Amino acid sequence: MAKIKTAIVILNWNGKKLLEQFLPSVVEHSEEASIYVADNASTDDSVAFLKANFPTVKIIQNKTNGGFAKGYNDALQHIDAEIFCLLNNDVEVTQNWLSPIVDTFKIEPNTAIIQPKILDYKRKDYFEYAGAAGGFIDKFGYPFCRGRIFNTVEKDENQYNDSTEIFWASGACLFIRKSIFEELKGLDENFFAHMEEIDLCWRAKNLDYNIKYVGASTVFHVGGATLSNTNSKKTYLNFRNSLFALVKNAKGNLFFLVFTRLLLDGIAGIKFLFEFKFIHILAIIKAHFSFYKYLPKLLKQRKTLQQEKKYYKTTSIVWSHFVLNKKTFISL
173 band by pLDDT with thresholds 50, 70 and 90 = very high
231 band by pLDDT with thresholds 50, 70 and 90 = confident
Residue 247: closest CA among 288, 304, 189, 302: 302
What pLDDT sits at residue 3? 86
Distance CA 189, CA 44 (A): 24
- Which whole number is the average pLDDT over 219-232? 74
Any idea which fold 6-221 has? Spore Coat Polysaccharide Biosynthesis Protein SpsA; Chain A (3.90.550)
pLDDT for 92-125, tens place per residue?
999 999 999 999 999 999 999 999 999 999 999 9
- Which whole number is the average pLDDT over 289-308? 96
What pLDDT sits at residue 308? 87
- Which whole number is the average pLDDT over 84-97? 97
pLDDT for 33-65, tens place per residue?
999 999 999 999 999 999 999 999 999 999 999
- Which whole number is the average pLDDT over 159-181? 98
pLDDT for 278-296, tens place per residue?
999 999 999 999 999 999 9
What pLDDT sits at residue 1? 56
Is the confidence at residue 176, as pLDDT, over 70? yes
pLDDT for 5-22, tens place per residue?
999 999 999 999 999 999
What pLDDT sits at residue 309? 79
Is the confidence at residue 229, as pLDDT, over 60? no
CA within 13 Å, CB half, 147 = 28
What pLDDT sits at residue 298? 98
Domain boundaries, the chain: 6-221, 232-331
What pLDDT sits at residue 290? 98
Secondary structure of the chain in the HEC alphabet?
CCCCCEEEEEEECCCHHHHHHHHHHHHHCCCCCEEEEEEECCCCCHHHHHHHHCCCCEEEEECCCCHHHHHHHHHHCCCCCCEEEEECCCEEECCCCCHHHHHHHHHCCCEEEEEEEEEECCCCCEECCCCCCCEEEECCCCEEECCEECCEECECCCCCCCEEECCECCCCEEEEEHHHHHHCCCCCHHHCCCCHHHHHHHHHHHCCCEEEEEEEEEEEECCCCCCCCCCHHHHHHHHHHHHHHHHHHECCCHHHHHHHHHHHHHHHHHHHHHCCCHHHHHHHHHHHHHHHHHHHHHHHHHHHCCCECCCCCECCHHHHHHHCCCCCHHHC
Contacts for 99 with CB less than 8 Å, ≥ 6 apart: 32, 217
- Which whole number is the average pLDDT over 18-36? 97
- Which CB contacts under 8 angstroms, 24+ apart, belong to 50-56? 50/19, 53/20, 54/23, 54/27, 56/27
Residue 33: closest CA among 76, 93, 81: 81
pLDDT for 213-225, tens place per residue?
999 999 999 986 4
Distance CA 86, CA 100 (A): 16
What pLDDT sits at residue 10? 98
Predicted TM-score of the model (pTM): 0.95
- Which whole number is the average pLDDT over 181-207? 96
What pLDDT sits at residue 228? 54
